[in-house]
């Protein structure tokens, strides 16, 4: 589904040069739960952003279903991000002035879905993540775990084939973190490919493939 071939990411030049990723080669199959794990600063989020077409490699190539993403127009990349992918972040990134329902509706507004459809789907998704009684609550009225569940519902708004998750449990207590991981596992069992970044070794049990990074390099790939 996604393949990275000889991918490097380099920031700056000369003495200020920083190599974030070094010669990354990996393949992600459709339906896998892939966990990219390693210590802080090892390049996990950089790799995730490149795989999600939020960033471009300095050298090397990323393929989506055999097609070079470097040859995709900006419009095609935007369609990939809007229709093919869903995103979950550590900081939730909910819009503070919108209710839970409105936050989940937002991707569908950008995809020009009609009001009746998006309102009905947003309610259904929030019910799915157990927030049917929080539809009209604003982010500041929700706990961290509840905000992350809103973010999961939002990521699912446009029926993505892939969910990219960057430290989705990083700001949560252990109980809320388990709830989020169980939700991601359930989504994966329904056929959605999950690509997740974490530094927490204990979360590896949820994954079908683990990519271990250190200092920008893959040191091991474990497939269960």
Condensed to tens digits (0 to 9), the pLDDT of residues 10-43 reads 998 877 789 999 999 999 999 999 999 998 889 9
Q: Which CATH number fits domain 31-56+78-223: 3.40.50.2300, 3.20.20.370, 3.40.50.970, 3.40.50.300?
A: 3.40.50.300
Name the residue ranges covered by the structural domains of the chain.
31-56+78-223
The answer to whether residues 147 and 95 touch, using CB atoms and an 8 Å cutoff, is no
Residue pLDDT, tens place only, 147-197: 989 999 999 899 899 999 998 888 888 888 898 899 899 999 999 999 999
- Determine the Cα–Cα distance for residues 207 and 75; give it in Å rounded to an integer: 32
**pTM for the whole thing?**
0.90
Residue linked to tokens 């950089």: 46
User: What's the Rg (C-alpha) of the chain?
Assistant: 18
- Determine the Cα–Cα distance for residues 205 and 129; give it in Å rounded to an integer: 22
């Amino acid at each position: 589904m996604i393949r990275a071939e000889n991918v490097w990411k380099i920031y700056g030049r000369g003495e200020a040069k920083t190599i974030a990723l070094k010669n990354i080669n990996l393949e992600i199959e459709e339906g896998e739960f892939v966990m990219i794990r390693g210590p802080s600063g090892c390049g996990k989020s950089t790799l995730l952003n490149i795989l999600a077409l939020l960033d471009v490699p300095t050298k090397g190539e990323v393929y989506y279903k055999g097609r070079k993403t470097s040859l995709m127009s900006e419009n095609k990349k935007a369609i990939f991000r809007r229709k093919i992918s869903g995103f979950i972040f550590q900081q939730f990134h909910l819009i503070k002035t919108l209710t839970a329902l409105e936050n989940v509706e937002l991707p569908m507004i950008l995809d020009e879905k009609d009001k009746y459809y998006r309102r009905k789907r947003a309610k259904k998704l929030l019910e799915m993540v157990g927030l049917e009684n929080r539809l009209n609550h604003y982010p500041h009225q929700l706990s961290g775990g509840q905000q992350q569940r809103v973010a999961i519902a939002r990521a699912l708004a446009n029926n993505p084939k892939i969910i990219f998750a960057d430290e989705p449990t990083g700001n949560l207590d252990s109980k809320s973190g388990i709830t989020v991981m169980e939700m991601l596992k359930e989504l994966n069992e329904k056929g959605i490919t999950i690509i997740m970044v974490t530094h927490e070794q204990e979360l590896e049990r949820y994954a079908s493939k683990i990519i271990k990074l250190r200092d920008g390099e893959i040191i091991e790939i474990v497939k269960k």
